[in-house]
Structure 1
């Protein structure tokens, strides 16, 4: 059933999708409730929030964060190992716009028996069509939001409401993960400078010349930075500094 724009806006307000409230954070259970509300609003029965699969992290289960897919379907799909190369993910690698797939969203593109079987299985569970888009959080980590069911392409108003609601939801969930916001102890300007030149491939002796410091002092700054970033070596410290957007 299609909803009016006013109904969509009213539901979004009732659900608490106000940017003025984003500092409160959100639990996974609250996230499930919100995704369920948004899915029903757009006429879909199923939802999925997943990290965007990377080259070193492709499995469905390790990327899935929140979903209401039937457990049996999730198990079969994990065993098939097609999430990272599915038609849906492949399509979202080519555009920043929302994607709507009619049938076969989560199977691979190959015309083989396994993909035909997966298409049938998804349809049997009611996941025929899928509307999906990607969003990134404040740390620039990319995620997939997918809404599935038998409904047609959402209207422009429904699509905008889903995009706004999911953006707000992702922001709240991200704020709840305090451990990812930064190191527990603030790095000094000199420590960050040494890490920045280290990331550029400079040795301690070269950094010492650039910053007009002694090699011993540079080593001390790097050692202090590694301790604050809970790192075992310089390379790991640089990687974590990039993740915390210190460099």
Structure 2
């Protein structure tokens, strides 16, 4: 007989609460290692994507990668040919490495990169692009030998990844900000954080779904968030809402 299914939303919020108590990037890496291991991940990196005149190592916020692979990757400028990074630039949706399209014949360096990662035990992976209204900000790419990626775990991982990025950025470059949200925007995001759809929230608050969608859109604009999940993560991070 199988045991009870884990509550992934609870795991996500527990992770968020833990991050709020941490003061250094090393502590955040340790917390990510423990929490993401529950989903089968062993390695991860949080980084911005460089422009042609930048080196990716200058944009890395957090990482837990095999040292030799990191040295090989940065020394050879693999980010210029990495199929995962190419797709990360093109989408706001999380994706599995297995979903990344590339042609080994037209992108032999990309194929070599994927083989090289596999040599270091990084065969399966999951990437979460993090975009703002002004364009790309960062991505969190994770890998492990046997991943727990289901319709139930992916939303929790998405929120955890965005929050980890926000917490790392806050720790590395603190910047206090006033609460720009209206009371109704805060209430709308709070229900979104609890997993309610716009239709559900509209019914709870006695307004139309269109009204809730407008509040979410306004909150996203004020928080420079690309979508509802991103806005919830930022609102929680800066304590603009409470659960």
State TM-score, norm by structure 1. Answer: 0.58
User: For the pair shown, which has the larger CA radius of gyration, 1 or 2?
Assistant: 1
**CA shift for structure 1 position 116:** 4.6
**CA shift for structure 1 position 126:** 0.6
**Superposed counterparts of 1:1-247, under 5 Å:** 6-15=6-15, 17-18=16-17, 22=20, 26-57=23-54, 59-102=55-98, 110-112=106-108, 114-136=109-131, 142-152=137-147, 154-178=149-173
Structure 1 pair 141/122, CA: closer, same or farther in 2 (3 Å)? closer
CA distance in 1, matches of 2:103, 2:71: 14
- The question of whether the paired residues in 1 share the 8 Å contact of 2:92 and 2:131 is answered with no
- The question of whether the paired residues in 2 share the 8 Å contact of 1:135 and 1:142 is answered with yes
Residues 142-166 of structure 1: CA deviation (Å, up to 9, x unaligned): 1110111233571122111111112
Greater CA deviation, 138-147 or 66-75?
A: 138-147
State TM-score, norm by structure 2. Answer: 0.59
**CA shift for structure 1 position 178:** 4.4
Residues 3-25 of structure 1: CA deviation (Å, up to 9, x unaligned): 9763433433443x149x85x66
CA distance in 2, matches of 1:139, 1:181: 20
Instruction: Provide structure 2 residue ranges, at least 5 long, that are not aligned to the other structure.
Output: 178-243
What is the RMSD computed on CA atoms of the aligned residues? 3.6
CA distance in 1, matches of 2:114, 2:143: 13
Instruction: Provide structure 1 residue ranges, at least 5 long, that are not aligned to the other structure.
Output: 183-247
- The question of whether the paired residues in 2 share the 8 Å contact of 1:51 and 1:144 is answered with yes
